[in-house]
Structure 1
Amino acid sequence: MLALWLPRLPTDARERLMPPELRTRPLALLRTERQRRMVVAVNRAAAGRGISPGHTLSDARALEPTLEVAEATPEADSLLLGRIADWARRYSPWTAADEPDGVVIDITGCAHLFGGEPALAADLTGRLRAAGFAARAAVADTPAAAWGLVRFGSPEERRHEALDGLPLAALRLPAEMVEGLHALGLRRIGDLHAMPRAGLAARFGGRLLQRYDQAFGRLDEPISPRRPVPDHRERLTFAEPIATPESIAGALRHLLGRLCKGLEAAGQGARRLRLDAHRTDQRVDDEPQSLSLGTSRPTRDPAALARLFAPLLERIEPGLGLETLVLSATETGPLSAIQTGIDGEDANSGLAELVDRLTLRLGERAVLRLVPRESWLPERCVAPHPPLESLPAQKPWPAGQPRPLRLLTPPEPVEATAPLPDDPPLQFVWRGVLHRVRRAEGPERIECEWWRPEGSLGLAMRDYYRVEDDGGRRFWLFRAGLYQPEENPRWFLHGFLG
């Protein structure tokens, strides 16, 4: 675990916005408490004048009359700390902000990419200092030990013996608990080893032993990353920055090949992918450049995914060069073995890739698919659905009941002649043309939903007929309502069967 400490984060953030000639002046950030203006943060110059958090503004002015003051903004500082934690994902995907002035990074399995733990910590703090932040980093076996070492000890030490000499405040204990331990003559972490645990728990509660055990790894302390860590993720760090479109595309193809091998071993296919590009001149509080794409079905074909990424790569601005590319499958789906043709191509991949390319070019809302919806009414039994989203639970259309390939929206009224009471029509007039019926099937009765007092046409019941006219044309007609003594039902043409 690597603990990053930014001891002057609030004032460093302010100084970065100032002209260079003003950054050496004493600066204090203030907050109003009980009608008094209190100092909550100071820069290095103000600390050198003896000003520290907890002073009132009048006391600080007495120590330094030329003190620059500004209002503290804890919300903005918290957002900045979150952006720094996101920026630190260039070293590991497992980063978490440690309010109010730290970041915890799980560098397990990542340090060798940067030449070892000391080199990684040096690179991290070097970049932050170049960006104008005071920064220290320490590596230890537990988050608690790293936290204590970076604030109270030597960042180069990570042994348990190094923790023994740290003050009790390094265990992240409340100030009143530390004072109580001091009253018993306990001032260092090592002083707790010989004390009976039952006595400590009885006098100071379970929190003391919890922090003590977390520091020495006897009790797990899980770290929740700011962003979910994808199960399938590949990273490529370059010895020399790359900037040409050909080199970026080649690096992406290499990452896609490695990612798809991992997906195949897991029996998965990618539904959504994200490519993060880290520039050498990227500022600490800047997000990496990201490209995202989705697929209409799970896939692990590196060549097809490379073709989808190709037009997106033009959006990357390499600047002075890219030093790291990270490819993640943010959403996956089950994908078993695929039957391919003699040429090795999937017979169904062409349509899926066409949908994916149209979606990238036109947008996800411009390309839709129709999926079944639980309704017997023909105009309501399908619903548009984005092709890149997972399909909802579907209920198939009625088996054995042919439906037209084309529906009229809304159904168009026709004049029909039909025997009573439920026989199909003998003829009908549609758009001024007479159609004589030679063959007919039906009726198929469809009732409107009970929660709708009337159908979309103000009709409560329909009898559908499949008819063929003397010219071989097939239509889908329905009669709305029943024959009544004082009212005749209406007829409508709803679609074409072929």
Structure 2
Amino acid sequence: MALCLWWPGFELELERVRTPQLVDQPLALPTPGDRRRIEMGCALAASFGVEPGMIVSQAVALCPALVLCEPDPDFHDAARDRILGILRLWSPVVEGSSDRGRLFVGVDGLERLYGPPARQIETLRARLETLSPWLASSVRVGYAPGKFAAWVAARSAKPAGSASSGRPGAAVCVAPADLAAFLARQPVDVLPVSPRTVKRLRRLGVGRLGRLVRMPEPALVSQFGADGRRALAWARGERIDRVRPEAPARPIRVALDFPSPIGQLELLHAALDRLIERALEHPRRRGKSVRGLRVSASLEGGGSWSIRAIAREPTSEPERLGVFLRSRIALDRPRRAVETLRLELFRFGPASAQAGLFDPREGAPHVPSGHWRRGTASFCRRSGARRACCGFGSAAPRLYRVLELEPESRLPERRHALMELA
């Protein structure tokens, strides 16, 4: 059994709580970058025709009173982390999702602690109310077998303050015996498949999951492939996805405060190189390569900016990490001057094989531990290359190093470059 907690428009509602003057205003959250589009809009903005994916200028033309909330990922992530902390004290099995406002809790075995499902939900609401009354009153709760059914149940719950709900943020509890009948009444939009598959199902006249269940599986597979088989398993209630517990992350965080806000990209790159070196020198990073990075900043005049990147290949070389992050910053740069720059290493891998081949401590001048710099690493690679070529005599081959430049570029020639190891 799983329990889903869902706050629709989580980021926008947080902005309303932070700024009470926005309570009755139509709000929208634009995407970062130069070509800005609407990422999320409130119900009031949707009544004017504002939809996700719409260009900002078009949305403002439809709703002149639309208020654009600048993205503040640090504030939104901090609120989500506080909710996760409350949930982990209530149950050891807690899992997040790509949507900040949708969280899952495993409830198997909690009957002995908190009683039946209705009592469990009341206990959880009381804990959320200690954090914020808004969190307890606006949450929609779904209780059902598996994450998918729990999410559909939370989606079916009445919104906060609805007259028919009887209480704010009513919950929907689905017993295992009632799962098939409950799912049969739901629209096909709830299926976690591609939007193209949902659109094709609607063109075929399949608007509810009950209609989908009556279709033969071979026909669905021939038309939709793996999406058709998965959709049928979810619609029948045969696929029960368990809640996977997530261990609290222990990322490595470093920060740099500037005496005066900086807006020049060159100064930002230099500060980022400094933060990379400090993060790699952290004791918890030793013996591990880096795969997941997050760069965030506090902007002048309020607000924040952040980018999250996952490297294709884990590495512990500061040059490669710097090139990788600079390419991401070029696609989504801060819109205002930066007051504080932060770097977070949150995903690690095994020790880099390249570092083991050319050991930086062999054949290099003595440098105290934790103080290696680019010049020392370059010397070690060159000396290692010379030792590797000595065994070939006059027919020694040339050794090259693959340098990652723009891994996401459409042009293959710009993704990597060969640099000779002299």
TM-score (structure 1 length as normaliser): 0.41
Between Structure 1 and Structure 2, which shows a larger proportion of strand residues? 1
Larger radius of gyration: 1
Between Structure 1 and Structure 2, which shows a larger proportion of helix residues? 2
Specify which structure has the bigger relative contact order, considering alpha-carbon pairs within 8 angstroms and separated by 6 or more residues: 2
TM-score (structure 2 length as normaliser): 0.47
